[in-house]
Amino acid sequence: MARRFLLPLLLLIMPLCLRAQNIDMDEVNANEEFRIGVNSFHQGYFNKAILAMERSLALKPENSLVREWLGRCYYQSGYENAALNEWDNLIRIGSAGEALTNLRNMVYERRGLLKELKERDPWVELLQLNTNRTGETLFSRPTSVDASRNGTGGYYVVNFAGGIIQKYDANGNLVDRFDGGIDSFNHPFDIKVLPDGRMLVSEYSGDRITLTSDQGYRTLTIGATGTGEGKLLGPQYLALSGNYFYITDWGNSRVVKYNMEGEFILQFGRKSTYFEGLKGPSGIVVSEGVVYVADTDLGKIFAFDESGNFLYPLVEEGLAAPEGLTLRDNGDLLIADGSRILDFDFATETLKEIFELPLAEKGRIMKTAFDENNNLIVPDFNNNRISLMTELSTLYGGLFLTINRIDTSAYPEVLVDFTVQDRYGEPCVGLDISNFLIKENGNYLNRMEQYDRGIDLAVSYLFQSSRDVIASRERIRESLLELLNSRKGGDRFSYQATAETPYALVQEGQNPLEGLEKNWSVRENYQLDTALRLASTDLINDRRRRALFFFTDGKLYDDAFDTYGLVETGQFMKNNSILFYPVYVDGASRNEELDYLAEETGGEGVYLLRDRGLGEILEDIRLKRMGDYTLSFISLSQNDFGRAYLPLSVEVNYLKKSGRDEIGYFAPLNLSARE
């Protein structure tokens, strides 16, 4: 009887078992390779990530997400051509989203001559400040503005009538105000902010210049009332030049030069055989050893050398009452001329109006300045307001946000590292958590925190193992000692030498000078691009400011970049925010390829025994504009014990500019919990 029911039961169960076993193993393996590739990418192992993505595509070539990721791995590894090919294929078949299309377009444009072919665009207003939230007037006759020099994106406004200086952050929020302390500012007129945060302030009614601390307290008073040498009557505009500064002395119709210790150096501007003499000296700038001085009464701009000798008239026509002068990054000169701003092109010697206040407002612009995000700060003296202006192309071009890494080592806490730049590749600095939005797995996050990237350094020192470089061992030791003396508590240094397989000269905690002496030897057989890439890889996951110093004689083998390529090596370092500094042991032996890498990454080729010393480079890097950010949040998404891919996007909104990037990650595997 039991046998009569057994056969029908088996016939019923067998199809179900067969269907359960009908698993697409290619898809399973492809998904696993994809997970390995994503995790490898976020750990900085880009070659491993590329191989995993290629294996995944070999199993399931129609997977658009994997192909998008393969392009991202190529890009971060410096292979931008390969990345563009992958993304273009997706765009052609309609499988690319808006974020990927924007990423592709930005990468493509920057590989051309976008920056070099930049035209002079119209300027448009991003932000206007005049009153606070309670309706109170913020400014009292603003005469001058200046930007911070430490990568924070802030700027300072001089209130002539109010006797104070206000500090604003990159978003236009008032964060501090300075009145000079007990002996308050007496009608401050102009300001120059130094890289260390100190301020140089001219006081029109006080007939003096004040040097303050970074907290705004007076530390040095320069000048005194009078007509004699070094005396002042109504000092106005300031200009810096190394350890010196110039001030236009309105009441004495001259320019006075001091050093930063407050010592009088010289004065100039009087009438001579070849020069008509200054009548109303106002705006002043110094560029490449030439001092340009505007004369409000004469409506002209004159050029002098730094010893005060008259050179030539720069602009003699087209100006009404020129005052503040501002140099642009492209070398042009901006001139505040009443209610308008003019651009003087040195190459063509032409003037062009780029902005004018409405005639009915009867405004007056006395000086402009660029903030660290290349926005033009325009104070209106008559109408008590400040405007932030930008060129139209930067507005419609938006911001370039790229997610570089997602760190899940402390999951469910997730850290997202990303970079924000403008259309031309310049970093966007000083942004805070109010500028960002994160969406995880389709849901915007309500709670997130911003990680302070700080100014600590992660520096890798790579030494060429050539006879000429090792022969300079003593000079290199002196420079290393200087670098060590410039090191701060949060910095991390590593030391490697070129060889067929680059090797560490010093282990953590060892004396680098001893390691250099004991472990460094001539190694002729090595591949430079491999050595540079390996030294860079040591820095990729570090959230400190990253730099690679290469001590070299400038003599490279013909096949120095045959493995990875010169352009690709530069793109690899640039796309991972690594500054490259070739240090030449012989000042006469420069190398075009190494200098190219330095320029591409934002570093600089330098001589071992440069006058300023190598230690100062570290301080420059601490103050360099770096658009790197980190946000953290607690993930609430279902992650299938680390098997589920979690899409993630970051958006930035800064004034009227925006940008967005999409990527994703896997939570750490938790197979024990799954069981």
Q: Is residue 19 part of a domain?
A: no
Q: Is residue 50 part of a domain?
A: yes
Q: C-alpha angle 122/124/127, rounded to 5°?
A: 160
| Last-in-domain residue among 623, 638, 662 | 623
Are residues 466 and 429 part of one domain? no
Are residues 462 and 441 part of one domain? no
Q: Is residue 18 part of a domain?
A: no
pLDDT digits (tens, 9 = 90+) for 177-194: 999 888 899 999 999 999
Q: What is the pLDDT of residue 3?
A: 52
Take residue 529 and report the two structure tokens written for it.
């691009």
Are residues 148 and 67 part of one domain? no
Residues facing residue 372 across a β-bridge: none
pLDDT at 293 over 90: yes
Q: What is the pLDDT of residue 6?
A: 52
pLDDT digits (tens, 9 = 90+) for 480-534: 999 999 999 999 999 999 988 888 888 777 788 888 888 888 887 889 999 999 9
Are residues 150 and 78 part of one domain? no
Are residues 435 and 349 part of one domain? no
Using DSSP, state whether 175 is helix, strand or coil.
Answer: strand
Q: Give 543-557 as a DSSP string.
A: -SEEEEEEEE-S---
Q: Is residue 352 part of a domain?
A: yes
Comparing CA positions, the residue from 91, 93, 109 lying closest to residue 101 is: 91
Are residues 500 and 441 part of one domain? no
Q: What are phi and psi of 285, to 5 degrees?
A: -140, 160
35: domain CATH number is 1.25.40.10
Residues in contact with 227: Cβ distance below 8 Å, sequence separation at least 6, in sequence order: 233, 252
Judge contact between 424 and 114, C-beta under 8 A: yes
Q: C-alpha angle 402/406/410, rounded to 5°?
A: 155
Q: Give 55-119 as a DSSP string.
A: HHHHH-TT-HHHHHHHHHHHHHTT-HHHHHHHHHHHHHTT---HHHHHHHHHHHHHTTTTTTT--
Are residues 293 and 198 part of one domain? yes
- The structural domain count of the chain equals 4
pLDDT digits (tens, 9 = 90+) for 434-460: 999 999 999 999 999 999 998 999 999
Q: Which domain holds residue 496?
A: 457-623
Q: What is the pLDDT of residue 119?
A: 62
Are residues 470 and 444 part of one domain? no
Q: Is residue 4 part of a domain?
A: no
pLDDT digits (tens, 9 = 90+) for 262-282: 999 999 999 998 899 999 999
pLDDT digits (tens, 9 = 90+) for 216-243: 999 999 999 999 999 999 999 999 999 9
Instruction: Say how many Å lie between the first and final Cα of the chain, rounded.
Output: 41
Cα–Cα distance, 171 to 596 (Å, whole number): 35
Take residue 412 and report the two structure tokens written for it.
């469910």
Helices 46-59 + 64-76 axis angle, to 10: 160
Comparing CA positions, the residue from 565, 607, 613, 567 lying closest to residue 589 is: 607
Using DSSP, state whether 429 is helix, strand or coil.
Answer: coil
| Last-in-domain residue among 86, 110, 134 | 110
Judge contact between 584 and 614, C-beta under 8 A: no
Q: Is residue 335 part of a domain?
A: yes
Q: What are phi and psi of 245, to 5 degrees?
A: -145, 155
Judge contact between 287 and 327, C-beta under 8 A: yes
pLDDT at 331 over 60: yes
HEC secondary structure over 180-216 = CCCCCCCCEEEEEECCCCCEEEEECCCCEEEEECCCC
Residues in contact with 122: Cβ distance below 8 Å, sequence separation at least 6, in sequence order: 354, 391, 392
Q: Which of 129-138, 204-213, 572-581 has the least mean pLDDT? A: 129-138
Q: 18 pLDDT band (50/70/90 cuts)?
A: very low
Residue with tokens 């009867």: 362
Q: Is residue 288 part of a domain?
A: yes
Are residues 337 and 305 part of one domain? yes
526: domain CATH number is 3.40.50.410
Q: What is the pLDDT of residue 13?
A: 56
Are residues 146 and 65 part of one domain? no
Comparing CA positions, the residue from 191, 194, 154 lying closest to residue 174 is: 154
Q: What is the mean pLDDT of residues 371-397?
A: 92
Computed over every residue of the chain, the mean pLDDT equals 91
Helices 615-623 + 473-485 axis angle, to 10: 40
Are residues 431 and 336 part of one domain? no
Q: What is the helix, strand, coil percentage profile of the chain, to 5?
A: 25, 35, 40
Comparing CA positions, the residue from 259, 371, 277 lying closest to residue 654 is: 371
pLDDT at 609 over 90: no
Comparing CA positions, the residue from 568, 633, 622, 564 lying closest to residue 596 is: 568
Comparing CA positions, the residue from 305, 303, 299, 265 lying closest to residue 279 is: 299
pLDDT at 560 over 50: yes
194: domain CATH number is 2.120.10.30
Q: What is the pLDDT of residue 673?
A: 52
Q: Is the dihedral of CA 369, 372, 375, 380 positive or negative?
A: negative
The radius of gyration computed from the CA coordinates of the chain, to the nearest angstrom, equals 30
Q: What is the mean pLDDT of residues 107-131?
A: 79
**How many CA atoms are closer than 13 Å to the CA of 254, on its beta-carbon side?**
20
Question: Which segments within 408-543 are labelled E, that is strand?
Answer: 413-421, 436-440, 443-444, 449-451, 457-463, 492-497, 503-504
Judge contact between 198 and 214, C-beta under 8 A: yes
Sheet holding 350-356, edge to edge: 322-327, 333-337, 340-345, 350-356
Q: Is residue 525 part of a domain?
A: yes
Q: How distant, in Å, are the alpha carbons of 119, 333, 354, 356, 388 from that of 122?
A: 10, 16, 6, 11, 14
| Last-in-domain residue among 623, 641, 664 | 623
Comparing CA positions, the residue from 358, 293, 300, 291 lying closest to residue 324 is: 293
Of all residues in the chain, the percent with pLDDT exceeding 70 is 95
Residues in contact with 458: Cβ distance below 8 Å, sequence separation at least 6, in sequence order: 491, 492, 539, 542, 544, 545, 546, 547
Helix ranges (DSSP H) in 440-565: 467-470, 473-485, 512-519, 528-537
637: domain CATH number is 2.60.40.1940
Are residues 385 and 422 part of one domain? no
